[in-house]
Structure 1
Amino acid sequence: TLQLIEGRVHDVVAQPLRDCAPDLLLALDEEGGDVTRLDYLRGSRFPGNHALGALDDVTVTRAVAGSLGAELRRAGVNLNLAPCADVVVDPRNPIIGL
């Protein structure tokens, strides 16, 4: 079930796949905030990009990115498909999720 897999991505998914294909590229979209794959049952511990942009603190943003990257690495993920920039040109745009 999803509850059993969450928090065990490395053991349940990544490592068995790498045993078959050591050079496997394991990617997902982990942005923090509302867009999370690793913490989908309880919600991300990391702020989303909109919150980081509103805070406007490069040091905090780098720390969050480093922590999120370390968590992805522990899970066996070696490519994060998270966008580098979401541009809100219309506040009514539902795709951004504001």
Structure 2
Amino acid sequence: MIRIHLVAPDGAETTLEAKPGESLMQAAVAANVRRIEADCGGLLTCATCHVYVREPFAAQLPPPQDDELGMLEFTAAPRQANSRLSCQIELAPALDGLTVDLPATQH
């Protein structure tokens, strides 16, 4: 299992475990994590699963593809250099301990 830490804007942290191959969005939705709306269910047609990936994990992820970059233009919260859509983050053992900050809003 892969341990993931999701940090809310107020500093409250949720830790969950997920299976390799699952997306970060799927794991968060299954755990009822607030602030991961995932309106499109992971089809990459919205930006409501936006997260800020902390280092060292941001540097370990493959770069976003053009379709993800396009959707990141529509995030409700300000886009940052470490902004990613959680539906595009495939969990793997190397991401054990992944920490992401959740934006204040997805809409």
**TM-score of the two chains, using structure 2 as the length reference:** 0.26
More helix by share: 1
Larger RCO: 1 or 2 (CA < 8 Å, sep 6+): 2
**TM-score of the two chains, using structure 1 as the length reference:** 0.27
More strand by share: 2
The higher radius of gyration belongs to 1
